[in-house]
Amino acid sequence: MATILSVSGSPSPVSRTARLLRHLDGTLAAEGHDVVPLDVRSLPAEALLRADFGHPAIVEARRLFEQADGIVVGTPVYKAAYSGLLKSLLDLLPQAVLTGKTVLPLATGGTVAHVLAIDYALRPVLASMGAAHIVQGWFVLDKDIAIREDDAVSVDVATQEALDVVLAQFSAALKDGRPRAAAA
Ligand X SMILES: Cc1cc2nc3c(=O)[nH]c(=O)nc-3n(C[C@H](O)[C@H](O)[C@H](O)COP(=O)(O)O)c2cc1C
Among 28, 77, 134, 135, binds ligand X (CB under 6 A): 77
- The secondary structure of residue 10, as a DSSP letter, is -
Task: Tell me the Cα Rg of the chain.
Answer: 15
Distance (Å, whole) CA 2 – CA 175: 7
| Residues 15-54, mask of contacts with ligand X (x by CB under 6 A) | xxxx------------------------------------
Least Å distance, CB 25 to ligand X, is: 15
Least Å distance, CB 92 to ligand X, is: 21
When the beta carbons of 97 and 141 are compared against ligand X, the nearer one is: 141
Tell me the three state secondary structure of residue 12: coil
When the beta carbons of 6 and 15 are compared against ligand X, the nearer one is: 15
Options 22-30, 76-84, 149-157, 175-183: segment touching ligand X (CB under 6 A): 76-84
When the beta carbons of 33 and 114 are compared against ligand X, the nearer one is: 114
Q: Is residue 88 part of the contact set for ligand X (CB under 6 A)?
A: no
Distance (Å, whole) CA 123 – CA 63: 22
DSSP 106-165: EEEES-GGGTTHIIIIIHHHHHHTTBSEE---EEEEGGGEEEPTTS-EEE-HHHHHHHHH
Q: Is residue 111 part of the contact set for ligand X (CB under 6 A)?
A: yes
Task: Answer whether 30's CB lies under 8 Å from 59's CB.
Answer: no
Tell me the three state secondary structure of residue 8: strand
Count of chain residues binding ligand X (CB under 6 A): 17
When the beta carbons of 109 and 130 are compared against ligand X, the nearer one is: 109
The residues of the shown chain that bind ligand X, judged by CB under 6 A, are: 10, 12, 15-18, 76-80, 108-111, 114, 142
